[in-house]
Amino acid sequence: MKNQRLASELAIEIQAFLDQQGSLMLAVVDAQGAPIASYAPYVVLDNEFYILVSRLAQHTEALEQALNASVLIIEDEASSDTVYARKRLQYEVSVSMIQRESAIWSSVGGLLVKRHGEVASQLLSLGDFLMFQLSPVKGRFVKGFGRAYELAPNTLVSDQLDHLRG
């Protein structure tokens, strides 16, 4: 992006948007090739999304088998000017399962409890809940009509953006 000041402002706006939202929409494909859409509360640590999901949920089995998925974080309809141009972040992500006894499980678990409350603590103690790391491969930030930006590869928030034009 040629205007570095605008790019920096957009990076701040993207970070604020991630901080404001509590959950992400998730799209993954199961072993038979069927698409599955769901959602999960998230936290961000070191430029990665982390989610905690039940093994009983349809999308969890697909995540266990998946190498990649798609994530959408979108503005609430009630606060948008129009449903056709809601602010949103979309990422293609690579998927990795986090081992329960690992240091990252403990660190992320603490962040989940801090951000989402005591229910997260209860879920972390249940054996059927799994944690996944969703690492951004590419992303796009859409602010509205004519205001879409491609993020730098492998970043969650970046001041290296390309304005997309139709």
pLDDT for 124 equals: 93
Q: What confidence score (pLDDT) does residue 2 get?
A: 56
Q: How far apart are CA 154 and CA 94, in angstroms?
A: 10
With H, G, I as helix, E, B as strand and everything else as coil, classify residue 152.
coil
Question: Residue 27: which CATH number?
Answer: 2.30.110.10
pTM of the entire structure?
Answer: 0.92
Give the 3-state secondary structure of 36-100: EEEEEEEEEECCEEEEEEECCCHHHHHHHHCCEEEEEEECCHHHCCCHHHCCEEEEEEEEEEECC
Are residues 47 and 11 in contact, defined by beta-carbon separation less than 8 angstroms? no
The pLDDT of residue 166: 61
Over the stretch 29-50, which tens digit does the pLDDT of each residue have?
Answer: 998 999 999 999 999 999 999 9
Give strand pairing partners of 4.
none
Count of structural domains within the chain: 1
Q: Which domain holds residue 44?
A: 4-164
Q: Is 125 helix (H, G, I), strand (E, B) or coil?
A: helix
Under-50 pLDDT residues of the chain = none
